[in-house]
Structure 1
Amino acid sequence: MPHPQPAPTPLGLRGPAFGGDYNPEQWPEEVWHEDVRLMREAGVTMVSVGIFSWALLEPEPGRYDFGWLDRLLDLLHVNGVRVDLGTPTVAPPAWFYRAHPDALPLTADGVRYAFGSRGAICHSSPAYRQAAAGITEQLARRYGTHPALAMWHVHNEYGVPVSACYCDTCAAHFRRWLAARHGTVEAVNEAWGTAFWGQRYHTLDEIQPPRATPTVGNPAQRLDYARFADATMRENFTAERDILHRLAPGVPVTTNFMTALSQCESVDYWAWGREVDLVTNDHYLITDGRRTHVNLAMAADLTRSVAGGAPWLLLEHSAGGVNWQPRNPAKLPGEMARNSLAHVARGSEGAMFFQWRQSRRGAEKFHSAMVPQAGTDSRVWREVSALGADLGRLEGIRGTRTVADVAMLWDWQSWWAQRLEWRPSEDHDARERADTFYAALYDHHLTVDFAHPDADLSAYPLVVVPALYLATEETGRNLRRYVEGGGTLVVSYFSGIVDADDAVHPGPYPGALRDVLGLTVEEFSPLLDGHTVRLTTPEGAPEGPDLTGDVWSDVVVPRGAETLWTYADGLPAGRPAITRNRLGEGTAWYVSTRLSGPDLDTVLGRALADAGVTPRTGLAHDVEVVRRTGETGTYLFAINHTDAPAGVRLDAPGTELLTGQGVVEELTVPAGAVRVVRLDG
């Protein structure tokens, strides 16, 4: 008899998930009863349990102690709190490492990490894989039918803090992976270009991981090793997932991602998104002086896109300050709720935190929590309880989907390749370009989907490509089909340059994208630090303001594209700087220098006009409006990140769910607040 398919969302929840990581093993058992009383008071619906508990669950090899976890899950169930149950495989016990010291990862410099932190794992270790499967099977057999179980939480934040190990076990595993990917040693030599610097291999057995070398190593080897490390972690995830599916059929399995581009750089989440039953994400504000709410929106949009547009779940964020940045400011009044509901607006099925009760000991004791050191007579607790009540009023949003206006291409493997050494300019940063283009679209009050370069893009009137150094020929054909079918494409510089093996495409730059852009690039001309170039509109082109670029310039040769701005100075003076190529029913724009701020807004504004996209007008800066829609209706989220009230025009009347008030033509959103309107009709 076939097993039931895993549910796409946590079992047993009627409304949004609300709660956090619960680590009761840090507290005397009498505190547990106080915790569940407070959970009920705050409206908590689900907690994550057991993520770091391997040493307690299996205190000696093969001897298990589940008594405390039995009592805890029963207590949570009686009090109506659902459980996201972790497999504790991110933190093997001390006894495991004593027996298997080679399961600790080795750095590229030959340093063996020691026990005493978390995530110190050689993912190729057979001993680790066997032990991880063993504890996972024990948990699945014991709790797979427990009435509190809502979903399984495998491991924790794969890739943080270690993704790659360079030991001999990994070397052997890497050679097997290469044989599967490339087939023969001759194919590896071809893919890696080993004729350069005399690096040719005669057998696969000669190949080692890309360990420390006296100067820059082989970039294609390093790119393949990044893929291998990611795939090896994913093998371990799917091994645990399959055990849970087999022994606890119907229960969804997830692992918490960290899609924010600043927080986990070693994981290809496009690949991982296909392996989980529900995409979940951890997001923490990077408080470095930038507009943190824009990065939050970007991470939420990227997570939703990894989920294929389906609802996802924010599994961790912070109630206040974190503990791991150089400076960790507390969140301002109302900021926690605003952050939480911004994720919900962009597709999350709730808001979960790290953690429930703030720790007294350990590395994260200064990380904020839902129950802070100050206890319940505190601003944080009052805001936590208010947020729980607000989320309880949003039951109808479950299963609805966020509506996007435009798309942005992003590829983790291209990012890995571009970040290797000896590129034309260390000032060109793919993440910076993605952040900047996203912020420009955000400031046009547009909601963004992210897409893999080979995805079907036909649903989007505008697609932005901020940085795609690695682009296959298929990607080039895909983008050409998109433009010919009526799409508007905007491509930034240093895109389309190399293939999947980091080999420059034959012929002139930009390789895979020259046909769709209708141009070639004769030469890169990166700029020195602090230097700029001025762009002017040529005679005969639509008049526009002068623009200023920095970091990069190209010597562009039009091959059908029209010139919209030219360089007024620098090496390419008099040559095209920004072009537009009409192809089929659509247009493809190329921006050959780094634009920011109003200058980028000017170019994107014209591209949006090409695409027939009308940005929402009449909204204040840093007020975002996002829609979710589905069988239960259309919900408009208005999020005010400013310190003044803001008005939002509605295209239909409705009911504001957090206050219960009816709204007809204009919604007023108080300073720093969120309003959610269920539109009529």
Structure 2
Amino acid sequence: MATQQPERPLLPIAAWYAAGPSRATMIEPLGSDGEAIVRRDLTHLKESGLNTVRTWIDWASGEPEPGRYDFEALDRVLRLAQELGLRVILQLYLDSAPDWLAEAYPDSRYVSQGGQAIDSQGSPGYCYDHPGVRQAAERFMQAVARRVKDHPGFLAYDLWSEPHIVQWAYFDYLPQPALFCYCHHSKRRFRQWLEARYGEIDRLNRAWYRRFSSWESVEPPRFISLMTYTDFIDWQRFIIDKITQDLAWRARTVKAVDPVHPVTSHSAVPAVMTVPLLEQGEPDDWQVAQVVDVWGTSFYPKHVGARETADPVVRGAYLDSTRSATASLGRPFWLGELQGGHGYVGTFAEPASAADIRAWAWGPIAHGAKGLCFYAWRPMSRGYESAGFGLTHPDGSPTDRSRAAGEVARVVDRHADLFVSAQVPQSDVAIVWNNDANILWGCLREKSPYVPSRSLLGVYRALFEHHLPVDFLHPDQLATGRPTPVPDAPKLLAPGRAAGVAPGPRPLEVDRYKVIYMPFSIMVRRDVARGLAAYVQAGGTVVAEARTGWNDDEGKVDGSVPGSGLREIFGAQEAWARSRRDGDAVEIEVAPDPVVAFEGGRIKSAHYEQALEPLGARVIGRFASGEPAVTVHDAGRGRAVLVGSWVGLGYHVHRDPAAGRFIAGFALAAGARRPVEVEGLPGTAVEARLMVGETRQEGPYLLVFLFNHTPEPVAPRVRIAVPWSTRRVAVAELTGDARHEAAVQADGSVTLERALAGREIVVMKVTPA
């Protein structure tokens, strides 16, 4: 019989743990005192305040011989967790695969673009396109599901940690980036994908400018040609689809045995921060979110070498983009991995404090996360992350970090109905994440995600600093209103119907956005251009950057830049373009105009000077040479703005205040709402976030989160837009005991004053009085 789900709402706050000092994906063999060690560790985890343990099983140790399963460590965690009242999330690691697979299937190794077959050294395992490997993996996954599905404490599966084509291996001896997989099974799968896409070999030949006689003669591209890169565009699109379909396969396999419990997965880095050529394939968050009950991401603000993520703006973009991908479907998101301790990688180190843990936990919750999984309970015991990332000391004893994580968990558990039900409302402003442009970036022999991601981050930063909440959009949403459905997606659970899966938000609607920003959109599909035209005609404002629509779907210049029909939308085209080094400022003189709430003046941009030729648009900005740099075109009831430079990247690099006001000014001029605003302080010193909810017991309510990101005490005035017709509101601090009432002003807002100590975080519930 299926496990009966508890009635009480649950927002799981977990820590990764399997057996004593084990590091994922490994299971450390324990001696005769193993039971006592695990019991002690799980007791400390429970006493800290966490409500869930996230354990794991790897294929190599779970099936040491074909058909012989070893679930001893898993059984022990399930049993002891139940005794202690902890729920259990299970991580399945197929990529840590048993060596007997290579003996049974010698042709199952991954093959690089250079033809090198890769032996697995604990990872990356073997190619799932091999039918024997796939069938063996199915048997193992279903054996695990049968083992856990009826256990009373079992909560959910995570089927794939940080999906890539190959996992956790560094092929320094291969040309970089190393591309996979070119085994004959993967080649066959690519040909099938091409046949489904093109239908006829002649259509493929026209697109690729080739002369193949049959599908069997098609070879996947291994390099980039000077003449055409349509083949390489298709290869990158295939890899993205392959990751999605492989995750869907895992979900269908487990759900065939256990349709009751949620299946989840999580990315290494949100899609907006990366490009498809990185790390042997990167998933599209908007695609993969369709094939699991809960999608999420890893979140390491102080992972060594990633110092930028200590910035609350960058952290916000990570979280808002992941939320937006799942909210496009009306589904929730989790953090599959949340940094729990010091960042140790090789000889490099970065400390983490209790204050860090509080900020890293409350931040995701304020951005809508419905589950947190700290990585890990104990620090890593082996490998190049040794002694890193744990909430506890290496011996498992508690630390200030583990106590801080427990403090957050206790508050969330105490008010679980509020935190489970509350949602981040749809914003008035959206930023387009254009993975088609990222694919083209790879075809231009650019491997770094810096320019694409920092172009988005610059726009996000300007809006963040002006207290304008932001959603992210996928090009498919512009084309059809929602992400393109994934074929053969598994049947998923309705959010809120299973314990641990919170209700999802109302799905995001493109026509509700007042302004859509399109940074770094050097490739635009024709269907996306048509959707964008409809949005503008209906009254929306779009703001795009230099070389938007430079290439079309197949990687060709389509008559003009911008192409694909965008020239008519923007009423302008490229006259000429000159590139600059990113560190060199491109200056633009902008005149006052009703389309932008900007006083006028000089702004700093980056990378391109694209002189614009107006074709019905009016010019509101010029380069120092006098050439048109910013145009506005009125179309229907809306308007399209084209900036002949990369102003988002420029703001990220130069932090020119005038450029920040210019970017945010389009949203402000269009009437974008600021539901919660901090008065009189710089945009990133104090961050304020708002969620909206309603429960049967509480009625309607707001959750207001205040973060002091500085080490110094501050006394902000916070103005909140109240969505109710009431004269007074009641304010109760969930992170403390303070309670009071406040008057609602004539404009429907409430002003709250709350002194904050250095790095203090306050969570308040606001209800009609």
- Partner secondary structure for residue 210 of structure 1: coil
Change (3 A) 1:144 1:528: closer
Alignment of structure 1 residues 280-295 onto 2, 5 Å: 280-285=296-301, 288-290=306-308, 292-295=311-314
Match of 2:762 in 1: 675
Deviation at 1:577, TM superposition (A): 0.5
| Contact 2:605 2:659 (8 Å CA) reproduced | no
1:146 aligns with 2:209: no
Change (3 A) 1:68 1:120: closer
Q: Structure 2 residue aligned with 1:379, among 396, 400, 415?
A: 400
1:38 aligns with 2:60: no
Match of 1:581 in 2: 633
Q: Structure 2 residue aligned with 1:315, among 336, 343, 363?
A: 336
Gap regions ≥5 residues in structure 1: none
Alignment of structure 1 residues 145-224 onto 2, 5 Å: 145-159=150-164, 160-161=167-168, 164-192=180-208, 194=209, 199-212=210-223, 218-224=228-234
C-alpha distance in structure 2 between counterparts of 1:278 and 1:626, whole Å:
23
C-alpha distance in structure 1 between counterparts of 2:297 and 2:593, whole Å:
50
Residue identity matched to 1:564? I
C-alpha distance in structure 1 between counterparts of 2:256 and 2:637, whole Å:
50
| Contact 1:87 1:155 (8 Å CA) reproduced | yes
Deviation at 1:549, TM superposition (A): 3.0
C-alpha distance in structure 2 between counterparts of 1:640 and 1:299, whole Å:
19
1:249 aligns with 2:259: yes
C-alpha distance in structure 2 between counterparts of 1:217 and 1:508, whole Å:
19
Q: Deviations over 1:512-532 (max 9, x none)?
A: 422221211132222256544
Match of 1:634 in 2: 702
Alignment of structure 1 residues 13-32 onto 2, 5 Å: 14-24=9-19, 25-26=27-28, 27=30, 28-32=34-38
1:645 aligns with 2:713: yes
Say which is worse superposed, 135-144 or 91-100, in terms of deviation. 91-100
Deviation at 1:298, TM superposition (A): 0.7
Change (3 A) 1:103 1:216: farther
Match of 1:655 in 2: 732
Deviation at 1:158, TM superposition (A): 0.8
Alignment of structure 1 residues 346-495 onto 2, 5 Å: 346-373=367-394, 375-376=396-397, 378-395=399-416, 396-403=418-425, 404-421=427-444, 429-455=451-477, 456=481, 457-495=510-548
Change (3 A) 1:654 1:355: same
C-alpha distance in structure 2 between counterparts of 1:426 and 1:139, whole Å:
39
C-alpha distance in structure 2 between counterparts of 1:297 and 1:528, whole Å:
28
| Contact 1:409 1:451 (8 Å CA) reproduced | yes
- Partner secondary structure for residue 553 of structure 1: strand
Alignment of structure 1 residues 271-350 onto 2, 5 Å: 271-285=287-301, 288-290=306-308, 292-308=311-327, 310-324=331-345, 327-350=348-371
Residue identity matched to 1:621? G
| Contact 1:536 1:565 (8 Å CA) reproduced | yes
C-alpha distance in structure 2 between counterparts of 1:216 and 1:144, whole Å:
54
Deviation at 1:259, TM superposition (A): 4.2
- Partner secondary structure for residue 382 of structure 2: coil
Match of 1:602 in 2: 661
| Contact 2:18 2:74 (8 Å CA) reproduced | no
- Give the TM-score, by structure 2 length: 0.81
- Give the TM-score, by structure 1 length: 0.91
Q: Deviations over 1:371-399 (max 9, x none)?
A: 23264353323323333333334411103
Q: Structure 1 residue aligned with 2:557, among 494, 501, 504?
A: 504
| Contact 1:641 1:671 (8 Å CA) reproduced | yes
- Partner secondary structure for residue 211 of structure 2: coil
1:513 aligns with 2:566: yes
Deviation at 1:276, TM superposition (A): 1.0
Q: Deviations over 1:484-535 (max 9, x none)?
A: 2222211122222222222222344344422221211132222256544432
Change (3 A) 1:59 1:117: closer
Deviation at 1:565, TM superposition (A): 0.8
C-alpha distance in structure 2 between counterparts of 1:374 and 1:237, whole Å:
35
C-alpha distance in structure 2 between counterparts of 1:108 and 1:257, whole Å:
24
C-alpha distance in structure 2 between counterparts of 1:661 and 1:528, whole Å:
53
Q: How many residues align?
A: 664
Change (3 A) 1:495 1:324: farther
Aligned CA RMSD, in angstroms, stands at 2.8
Residue identity matched to 1:611? A
Change (3 A) 1:580 1:139: same
C-alpha distance in structure 1 between counterparts of 2:136 and 2:592, whole Å:
71
Deviation at 1:216, TM superposition (A): 5.2
Q: Deviations over 1:67-125 (max 9, x none)?
A: 44223212211211111123331211122233334323222122332222433442322
Change (3 A) 1:263 1:376: farther
Q: Deviations over 1:605-640 (max 9, x none)?
A: 331232112553514432221111122322111122
Residue identity matched to 1:399? S
Match of 2:134 in 1: 129
1:86 aligns with 2:87: no
- Partner secondary structure for residue 553 of structure 2: coil
- Partner secondary structure for residue 255 of structure 1: strand
Match of 1:536 in 2: 589
Residue identity matched to 1:662? R
Residue identity matched to 1:462? V
- Partner secondary structure for residue 231 of structure 1: helix
Deviation at 1:343, TM superposition (A): 0.5
| Contact 2:129 2:185 (8 Å CA) reproduced | yes
Gap regions ≥5 residues in structure 2: 20-26, 170-178, 277-281, 482-509, 696-700, 721-728, 743-751
Deviation at 1:304, TM superposition (A): 0.7
Residue identity matched to 1:472? R
Change (3 A) 1:428 1:46: closer
Change (3 A) 1:78 1:540: closer
Q: Deviations over 1:239-297 (max 9, x none)?
A: 22112222112211111223434467421121111111112221122555535322211
Q: Deviations over 1:440-491 (max 9, x none)?
A: 1111122211111232311111211111222112211211222222222111
1:240 aligns with 2:302: no
| Contact 1:642 1:671 (8 Å CA) reproduced | yes
| Contact 2:274 2:453 (8 Å CA) reproduced | no
Say which is worse superposed, 663-672 or 532-541, in terms of deviation. 532-541
C-alpha distance in structure 1 between counterparts of 2:543 and 2:436, whole Å:
20
Residue identity matched to 2:641? W
- Partner secondary structure for residue 601 of structure 2: coil
Say which is worse superposed, 105-114 or 127-136, in terms of deviation. 105-114
| Contact 1:526 1:553 (8 Å CA) reproduced | yes
| Contact 1:164 1:226 (8 Å CA) reproduced | no
- Partner secondary structure for residue 157 of structure 2: strand
| Contact 2:105 2:132 (8 Å CA) reproduced | yes
Residue identity matched to 1:31? I
